[in-house]
Amino acid sequence: MTFTPDADLTSNTTYTITISTDAKDLADNSMQTDHTWEFTTEVITISENLIQNPGFESGTTPWRFYTNGMGTFMDDASGDGSPHAGHITISQEGSNVQLYQPDIVLEPNTQYRLSFKAYSNTGHDVSISLHKHGSPYTNYGLSDYVVDLGTSWSEYSIQFTTSGFSGTVNDGRLRFWLSPYDAVGDEYFIDNVILVKV
């Protein structure tokens, strides 16, 4: 006998199945008593992306670009298989050039995986940090991790364990740091930024 539910079952839930005495065998004999058993579905943890607007498909918010040189940040470039990507153009080098997203909620001493797609027109690189958004900018477990970008879309993945805080925080800043790698005329493209608990 095969039972096909109308809707998907919910994870981590106990279901009870009853075959009542209405059930009959091929010779038309009813069962003498109801037969009941139960089972529990598996626990499935769906890791939620902690990054807002991860593919730059809804404008540039809440991403922020800062440079003490000169440059622009827009969502006017094509992504890798999507209409938009984050697009930074450098018109004057700076010593502090960063694309970041604040207000990231993080649990202490927990494994996370950051992945993203990126390239630059010169293959110039970027480094990634995750730190407290405000002073004293405490590092939260990912510090100046250098990613060797190429000149066409590639996907990068970094696994790390949070540190530097003891209770859940909501003030993480994920930072793509372009100096000292950037140069005048550089264009950087970033898309599909995904930060999940592992």
**Which parts of this chain interact with Ca ion (CB under 5 A)?**
55-56, 79, 82, 84, 123, 125, 148-149, 191
Residue of 67, 167, 73, 82 whose CA lies nearest to 116:
82
Question: Radius of gyration of the chain from Cα atoms?
Answer: 25
Sequence length of the chain is 198
- The nearer residue to Ca ion, 142 or 191, going by C-beta atoms, is 191
Closest contact distance (angstroms) between CB of 84 and Ca ion is: 5
Q: Which two tokens stand for residue 183?
A: 């140069």
- The nearer residue to Ca ion, 84 or 175, going by C-beta atoms, is 84
> Residue for token digits 């009813």?
30
Closest contact distance (angstroms) between CB of 113 and Ca ion is: 19
- How far apart, in whole angstroms, are the C-alpha atoms of residue 179 and residue 97? 6
- How far apart, in whole angstroms, are the C-alpha atoms of residue 50 and residue 38? 36
Q: Is 98 left (phi over 0), alpha (psi -120 to 50) or beta?
A: beta
- The nearer residue to Ca ion, 21 or 72, going by C-beta atoms, is 72
Closest contact distance (angstroms) between CB of 162 and Ca ion is: 26
- The nearer residue to Ca ion, 115 or 138, going by C-beta atoms, is 115
- The nearer residue to Ca ion, 50 or 77, going by C-beta atoms, is 77
> Residue for token digits 């010169």?
122
- How far apart, in whole angstroms, are the C-alpha atoms of residue 16 and residue 40? 9
Closest contact distance (angstroms) between CB of 107 and Ca ion is: 27
